[in-house]
Amino acid sequence: MVEQLLRLIPSVHEVLGEKHIAQMIKQYDRTMVKKMVTEAINAFRQGVIDGQYTQQDYSSKEAITNWIINDAQGAYKKEVYRSHRRLINGTGILLHTNMGRAPLPQIALQRIGDIGGGYSNLEFNVETGKRGSRYETVEKLLLTLTGAESAMVVNNNAAAVFIALNTLAYGQEVIISRAEQVEIGGSFRIPDIITRSGAKMVEVGTTNRTYIHDYGDAITEDTALLLKVHKSNYRIEGFTEEVSGSAIANLAGEKGLIVMEDLGSGCLLPMESYGLAHEPTVKEVVETGIHIITFSGDKLLGGPQAGIIVGKQELINKMKKNPLTRMVRIDKLSLIALESVLMLYLQNKAQEELPYMQMLSRDIKELESRAMAIKSGIEETLGQQISVEVVDELNSIGGGALPKEKLPSIAIALTSPCMTATKLHHSLRLLETPIVARLKDDHVLISMRTLFDEDYDKVLQGICYIINKELSEL
Ligand SMILES: *Cc1c(COP(=O)(O)O)cnc(C)c1O
C-alpha cells in the first residue's frame, strides 16, 4: 500500500510544470520556488511513511499534486509575507524603533525616486567636470541649521559615536559619568563602544550624583576627552546632581581637552510648541561650547537613518580622514532623504511636512472625530458582533526620545463576543496590511494619532473582515 502510494508522488519537474506553480515562478525566484516544491514533496512522502496520508484519502496522482501545490503555495505566501511591507502603526508610539522610526516626507520619497532611478551628481561636480563631494550640500545645510563650524554624516549615530571616539581618543582615556552609561537596545552600550573604539573608559561620580570636581579629579596626562551622553531614553530622579554641558566644556577648555556629547535624538526645533518638555536643540548644545556633538537622523529630526556629527572643524577634519569612516559611509538614498528633510527645516516647512510632526500636532478633537467615524462605520457593518469604544489614552514619542513625556490622545477600544481580545489582536497583525495594536486588559486598543489618512479605511475594513470571517467559520 505504502509503496503504491509513494509511486504516485509526482517528480519536482512535473510539479514545476503545473499552472499555479508556473505562476509563482513568474513572480518569484525559480530556485526558491523549486526549493518550496521539493520540501512539499518531501513532507508528503514523510507523511505517507508515517501513515498520516493513506491511499484512502489520496487515491490519485492529481490529488497528491494538489496537496503539494497547496503546501508550496503556503510556503510562498509566508515568504512574501516576510518581505518588507507597509503596516499600520496603531500603537500610538510615533518614532517606533521596530517600525522604521520616522516615516519620510513625500519630498524625500519623490527625490529618492527621481534621482535614485538614474545617474546623479553624487560625487561629480557638474561645473568643473571633476570628482565632487557627496557630502557638500548636506554639510552646508547642517552648518546653517546648527550654527556649528563643521559637519559630517555617517550611517547612523552609533557609527558617529564610534568614529568620533576612535579618531579622538584611541589609546587614551575618556571620562564619563556613571549616570550616563547608556544602553539603547540592540546591544549598543556606551561602555562597550568606548572600549571597542580603542579608548579607555574612566567612570566618575555615582549613579545619581556627579559633580564637576569628579571630572577634574579624574583628569590625567592620558586623558583625551570628556564625554557627555544625553539621557535620551531614561531619567534619573530624586536626589540627583548632573554637570551641565557648558560646565564640562569650560573644564575641558582649561585643561586643553576635547569635550563631546552624544545627544542621541538631536532635535532641530524646540519641542515645547507641542506641549512637550524642553529638549535641548543641537544649536543650543553647539552654543554651550561642546566641541563634538553626535545625533541620529531618524529620531526627533524626522529623517532617514543617519548619524550626524557637528562641531569643531579641526576635529571633524581628522574624523573625515579616519580610514574607518569609509566603512560607515552613508548610502546615497539616505543622503538624498536627509538633504530633503534638512531643506524642509531651512524652508520652515518641517512641521508641516514631516509625517511624525503632523501626527504630533493633531489635536484631540480631530482624533476624536476620526475615532467616532471608525466606530460608526464598524457598528453599521457588524452591529452587536463587536463593541467599539472611543477612549482617552496617552501616547509616547518613542525612538529613545523624551521618555517621560506623554501626549494626550484618543484610541478605539475593541471587544467582541465572537472572539477573544488576544485572537483579535493577533488577527489584526495577519491582515494583508498588518495592523499593530495594543492589548490592554480584555480589549484591543488602536491609537488614532499614529494613523495616516489612508489607514482609517483600512482599519475599519480590516476589523470588519476579521469579525465577518470569524462569524462565517463559527
Ligand atoms: C539612539 C541613540 C544612539 C544610537 O543611534 P542610532 O542612530 O540608532 O545608531 C546612540 N546614543 C544615544 C544616546 C541614543 O539615544
Looking at residue 402, what is its pLDDT?
85
The residue contributing the CA closest to ligand 1 atom 2 is: 264
For residue 218, is pLDDT > 80?
yes
Looking at residue 364, what is its pLDDT?
96
Give the DSSP letter of residue 328.
G
Q: How confident is the model at residue 77 (pLDDT cuts 50, 70, 90)?
A: confident
What is the Cα–Cα distance from 160 to 418, expressed in whole angstroms?
52
What is the Cα–Cα distance from 71 to 77, expressed in whole angstroms?
10
The residue contributing the CA closest to ligand 1 atom 8 is: 157
What is the Cα–Cα distance from 165 to 159, expressed in whole angstroms?
10
Sheet holding 438-440, edge to edge: 387-395, 407-415, 443-447, 438-440
158 C-alpha vs ligand 1 centroid, how far in Å? 6
Q: How confident is the model at residue 419 (pLDDT cuts 50, 70, 90)?
A: very high
Looking at residue 86, what is its pLDDT?
95
What is the Cα–Cα distance from 359 to 465, expressed in whole angstroms?
27
Instruction: Tell me the mean pLDDT in the region 441-455.
Output: 96
Looking at residue 61, what is its pLDDT?
92
Looking at residue 347, what is its pLDDT?
97
What is the Cα–Cα distance from 31 to 51, expressed in whole angstroms?
30
For residue 155, is pLDDT > 80?
yes
pLDDT tens digits, 378-401:
999 999 999 999 999 999 998 778
pLDDT tens digits, 286-296:
999 999 999 99
Q: Global pTM?
A: 0.90
Instruction: Tell me the mean pLDDT in the region 183-193.
Output: 87
Which of 262, 296, 328, 402 most suits a substitution to test ligand 1, by most atoms within 8 Å of the C-beta?
A: 296
The residue contributing the CA closest to ligand 1 atom 5 is: 157
Instruction: Tell me the mean pLDDT in the region 67-90.
Output: 90
* Ligand 1 pocket by Cβ (under 6 Å): 156-158, 161, 182, 184, 188, 229-230, 232-233, 262, 264-265, 296, 307, 400
For residue 474, is pLDDT > 80?
no
User: What are the distances in angstroms from CA 89 to CA 381, 422, 429, 435?
Assistant: 23, 17, 10, 6
pLDDT tens digits, 363-378:
999 999 999 999 999 9
- Taking all residues of the chain, what is their mean pLDDT, rounded to a whole number? 94
pLDDT tens digits, 110-127:
999 999 999 999 999 999
Looking at residue 275, what is its pLDDT?
86
29 C-alpha vs ligand 1 centroid, how far in Å? 37
User: Is residue 102 a contact partner of residue 307, using CB atoms and an 8 Å limit?
Assistant: no
Q: How confident is the model at residue 428 (pLDDT cuts 50, 70, 90)?
A: very high
32 C-alpha vs ligand 1 centroid, how far in Å? 37
Q: How confident is the model at residue 45 (pLDDT cuts 50, 70, 90)?
A: very high
High-pLDDT (> 70) share of the chain, %? 100
For residue 1, is pLDDT > 80?
no
Please name the residue that has the C-alpha cell 571597542: 196
For residue 229, is pLDDT > 80?
yes
Looking at residue 231, what is its pLDDT?
87
Instruction: Tell me the mean pLDDT in the region 7-26.
Output: 92
The residue contributing the CA closest to ligand 1 atom 3 is: 264
Instruction: Tell me the mean pLDDT in the region 249-258.
Output: 97
